[in-house]
Each structure stands twice: as structure tokens, then as C-alpha cells.
Structure 1
């Protein structure tokens, strides 16, 4: 019997993936943006009022990112952001407060950095406590249920004066310190390009670190398994359950993470205002229904579920309001407001309200969709 030699079939060469082309325009724009943000305290110089406007935008950015994760990625409507802002601000003041400096108020004297982390954790736990409700409701029903937390926060803020300081005077938040470096005005102060780096400049860099941390954490969550489970629950709960997704746990996790982001924004609000003070009514103030609507407008204008879009929405909603207030205080804008004319707050509400209507009618994807179309025009196309 003769041996048969069988030749091996020739190996099929695998296609070599073409190297990805770098979008140099996007890289250059990112570098310029980072340089601008770092140099902003030097560019504004002694005009700290403009720097405070930028700080306020970063507060809206952190809170808006947390809400867009919940509403846009997980598909849960929430109007409870003002409540978690208040919880975050009060938690930081209590954890880092010194009873000797604020007699009659509760203060535990924790290091400020630990107090910030503790405030974020507390807000996350409070959001987790609301999870049984969030897990059973969706849409407008969840929105109405979450709205009750705003009224609960109003009552707690007015009742627990040992923690909040009450509506008459409030309580000052402890100065943030990191490794002995105080984020306050000091003498002598370090200078950069002849500009003294005092309290507002230091708070800008602190807020910028908080905002960048929130941004990259949110982007990482969206691109991970957590984000995929959020979107599965958002699109079809029955299909998500069939794929083995625990819908109740996913909803609880989304609400917890969003609450933690809002808590960090609350700590930033306390440091920005240099005061922790509960609202006197549910319609006006830093933790009122107006703030809930403003955060929802941030999410809609930016584009549901888009983290960069939340930044754009914060610029439109939070930035315009502070810009108009700055013009009223420094340049006498809206001088006839006391006689029934437009005020800074009313005009800013009209502007971002009109922006919401335009987005809903003509571009449901918000600023994120517009940005994707513009970016695609400058992105090099793949060769076939």
C-alpha cells in the first residue's frame, strides 16, 4: 500500500488592519481647550467675577453629567437633584465642621478631603435608599415621585437647624484644605504671571479637577459593562431581563451614581457660595424646583445621555444666568426690573427655555448630535 502525501492547504493571509488615522484637528482643539482652562485665572486677572461665572458652570457640569447618566443612559426621569445638592452641601459642612468655630452646630472635624468623599458617599447611600421606588417606577411617575424629595429637603433643611444652620443665617462651610494648602485667601500668595493665586483662583483649579474627574468617570462608565446594562434597561426592560440583566439592581445603581454626582455638585455649591443655607420656599433658592428644571434643561439641551453635551448644556443654562447677573451688578443691566421689566434670572430662563423648545422641535439629539455632525465633516474617512 503506497503512502499518500497530502499537501497542506496554503494558509490564507489575514487582512492587516489599517492603522487608525489620528484626528489632528481634534487633538489640537483638546490641547488648546486644556491650556485655556488652566490659564483662565491668569487671563481674568483681578476680575474674579468672571472666574466665578466659570466656576458656576463647572458646578452645573458635574450635576448635569450625573443627571444625563440617569435620564439619558438609564432612561429614568428624576427631578430630585436639588435635594441631593442640599444633602451634599450639608454633609460636607457637618463632616468637616469645627464645633469651636460654629457653636451650637454639629461638626465632626474630619479632614476636608475626607469630608468631600464622605458627602459623596452619603448622597449615594441616600439615593440607594430611594432605589425601591426607582426600581418600580419609570417615566413621568418616577419624575413625580422624585420631586417629593425636593419638598422633603425643604422641610429637613428648615427643621434640622443643628445641621443646616437654619434659613435665617445658615452656616459657613469649612475651608477646603489639601496637604496643608488652604483654598482660601492667604498672605503672601503665590503668583503666576504676576497674578496672585488667591481663593477664587484656587477654587477654580479645585472645581476643574472635580469636573474632569466626573467627566472621565462618566465616560468610563458609559463605555463599560455598566453603561451597556443601563442602555439595555432603557431600551427594553423585558429584553434586558431575558438577557440576564437584573433590572431593579441596574436602576438602583444608576440612581445611586447620579445622586453621588449631585452630592459632589452640592459640595462645590457650598464652597462657591461660601455658605450652606436651606431655602425659605420651594420655588426660589439654590435647592429649589427652579434648580430641578434647570438641570433637566441642561440634559435636554446637551443631548440625552451625552457627557460632552452636559458640558454644553451647563454653559447655556448655568453660564447665561451668571453672565446676566454679572451684567446687572457691574454694568447696570436690567435696571428697570424692579418696575416690572426683565430681570437676569427671568431672561436666562427665557433663553434656555427657548433652547429646549428648539431642541425638541428641530434637533432631539441636542448639542451632542450637532457636534457629531460637525465633527464628521473634519474626520478623515476610512479607505475602502
Structure 2
């Protein structure tokens, strides 16, 4: 690793750590949503970008992770609308939620191991409709239409919530400030693990399945097993993203985990760059922050109005913009924003080779011009 890369990583870490001390809650919440989206996008990119398997049901596994965490961590509630819960320690609940999402992916993995392309996309689309039906009707577990409150994460006695009060360097640290560092740690670990998978033998096998499935089978790669295994791993990434989203939202709502969320994740990996961890992160931040920015500055932007008014709402405007971005990238930038960044970096760092200076031979006394 070169010194420039190490220096860039140090600067990036320093900036990320300093963010909660200077930015307000709106930007911290937007950043946390982008982190959770990046975790889910990394998982989908392992399946779609690296292995070539289309999935339209990624939002289902986010819902499994979010609601499983709430059920495992929450205490049972009685009354007219009784809600179940196991009251487990929150770190254990988070781990079990990720494993539950993996189990859900494992149940579907035999289908994922045998289908490919649009057929798998249509099959996974059914997960969204099944998941929405369960979320709205299994009220003792999910809370139905109104959802459920999310218990705050408590790790080694430290609570990621607004209370107890915490002040660091004269800056009040509420739930968003505390969750910021948790999100950074989880995203970093998820990205490093996925990077190791892609750079190792499994990653080479996945890329071979994507590019030359028949050749992969001839070389001894168990194609169906790899497809099923990557589907389970992608589901676990989705469950982890769902847990973080639930902690940031502080309430699970069924409407959030619908078809549009799955389409958003597909747009993330296409815009960022297929088959790359960095591309998934870039695309996730682009898709997640765009509607937040449009909502924040809707008064100063033309044709963008508040939701419910006659103009185009920020959510609609953001979908129009990144829909156009998907078309442009598919046609002109197959490497996504990551590929564009690499091209720009090469254009900046590439310098023309120096022209060698012509050597002048001094006139000597034996030169024909000086002979008598």
C-alpha cells in the first residue's frame, strides 16, 4: 500500500470522526441512512454485480433484519394490542437478526441456486409481496400498520440513545452522534469482509460464474452451491442494514420495506459500479443523500416543491434524477461513478513524457566548415 493511499485513509478517518462535532442532526441522520444503505448495497453487489444474479427482493431481507431485531430485543407488551418479544440483550438480538435474515435467504437459496437472470428477479419479487402481507397482518410480532418502537442498542453498558446525557468536548452526544460511530464501525467491517471475499478464491469463482457459467462448471466450480451461498451472504448483509436502519429510525414501518426500496438498491449498485465494494458505497450515498438534499433545499430549487403541493416533490424529483443517471451510466459509463472517478484520476495523474533535449555537437577544428 502506497504512502498516498495510507495518507488518504488517515484523512478520511479523521474527517469521519470529526463529523458529529460540527454537523447538525439532519446531516448525521442522512449520513446514517447512507451508511445503512451502503451495507445493504454491498450485499446486493456481491449477488448481482459479482455473481450476475438479479434480485428484486432485497428489501425483504432488510425487513427481516429490522423486525427480527425488534422482536428479539423488545420486552413483551400486554393490553388491547399485545406485542411479543424476547427481551434479549441488544447485541445478541442484532446478531440473531442478521442470522435470521441469513436463514430466510437459506430457505430461498435452493431456488436461487437453480434460477438466473430475469427468472430469479421475478422469483425474488414474490418475496416483497409475501413480506408486505406478513408485516401488515402479523401484528403480535410486527405491530401491523403502525409498526413497533425499536429498543436502543446497548453495548458494554453504553446506550446509543439520547439518555443518559453525554457531553464530549462541549458537544451534546445524543442518539445520532452515538450511532454515527457505530455505523462507521459496522460499515467498515462489512466493506473489509466483502473486499476480502471478492479478492480471494470465492470472488474469482463468483466472477467466473458471472462471465462464463459453462466454463466455471468445466473448471470444477460448484455453480449452484456458489449461487446459493452468495444469496445467503447477501441476505445477511441486508439483515445487517435493516438492523441499522431500525436503530436510526427508532420505529419500524412496513411501508418502508416495499418494492421501491428494492429498486433503489438496484439503482445504487448500477450507478456506483457493479462488482465493486467502493462502487456500492458510492452509489448508496448518491441515492440516499439525493432526496435528503432536495428536501432540505426545495425552496431554493426550481420545479421542486414541498410534498403534497402542485409541484414535483423531492422524492419524485430524486427518482427522476437517478433514473436518468441510470440510463446515462448504462449507455456511456458502464463502470458507474467509480469508473468515472478512476478515469478522472488517471487523466489528472497521467503526465506527458518529457521530450528529450536535442544534443548540440560543438563545432570542432576538424569540422568541414572550419577547414581552410
Q: Give TM-score, length-normalised by structure 1.
A: 0.86
Question: Counterpart of 1:267?
Answer: 243
Structure 1 residue 258 displacement after superposition = 0.4
Question: Could you report, residue by residue, the CA deviation over 1:162-183 in whole angstroms, capped at 9, with x for unpaired residues?
Answer: 110010x211111100011100
**Pairing partner for 1:209 from 166, 171, 185:** 185
CA distance in 2 between counterparts of 1:101 and 1:109 reads: 14
Distance 1:308-1:342 versus aligned 2 partners, 3 A rule: same
Q: Is 1:119 matched with 2:89?
A: no
Report the secondary structure of 2:181's partner residue: helix
Question: Counterpart of 1:99?
Answer: 76
Structure 1 residue 368 displacement after superposition = 2.1
Unpaired segments ≥5 residues, structure 2: 352-372
**Pairing partner for 2:21 from 18, 21, 42:** 42
Distance 1:165-1:51 versus aligned 2 partners, 3 A rule: same
CA distance in 2 between counterparts of 1:292 and 1:367 reads: 20
Q: What count of residue pairs does the alignment treat as equivalent? A: 350
Q: Is the 8 A contact 1:23 1:380 kept in 2?
A: no
Question: Counterpart of 2:365?
Answer: none
Q: Is 1:181 matched with 2:151?
A: no
Q: Is 1:69 matched with 2:69?
A: no
Question: Counterpart of 1:246?
Answer: 222
Structure 1 residue 240 displacement after superposition = 1.1
**Pairing partner for 1:350 from 320, 332, 339:** 320
Aligned Cα RMSD in Å? Answer: 2.2
CA distance in 1 between counterparts of 2:341 and 2:9 reads: 14
Report the secondary structure of 1:174's partner residue: coil
Q: Is the 8 A contact 1:71 1:77 kept in 2?
A: yes
**Pairing partner for 1:79 from 31, 45, 56:** 56
Structure 1 residue 78 displacement after superposition = 0.3
Question: Counterpart of 1:302?
Answer: 272
Q: Is the 8 A contact 1:53 1:323 kept in 2?
A: no
Structure 1 residue 332 displacement after superposition = 12
Structure 1 residue 371 displacement after superposition = 2.6
Q: Is 1:154 matched with 2:132?
A: yes
Which has more radius of gyration? 2
Question: Counterpart of 1:60?
Answer: 37
CA distance in 1 between counterparts of 2:84 and 2:208 reads: 44
CA distance in 1 between counterparts of 2:10 and 2:344 reads: 19
Question: Could you report, residue by residue, the CA deviation over 1:81-134 in whole angstroms, capped at 9, with x for unpaired residues?
Answer: 111111111100011111158972111111111111111111111111111111
Structure 1 residue 337 displacement after superposition = 4.8
CA distance in 2 between counterparts of 1:101 and 1:244 reads: 56
Question: Counterpart of 1:14?
Answer: none
Q: Is the 8 A contact 1:327 1:333 kept in 2?
A: no
**Pairing partner for 2:147 from 170, 184, 187:** 170
Unpaired segments ≥5 residues, structure 1: 1-21, 280-285
Q: Is 1:25 matched with 2:4?
A: yes
Q: Is the 8 A contact 1:334 1:344 kept in 2?
A: yes
Report the secondary structure of 1:338's partner residue: coil
Q: Which segment is superposed worse, 319-328 or 111-120? A: 319-328
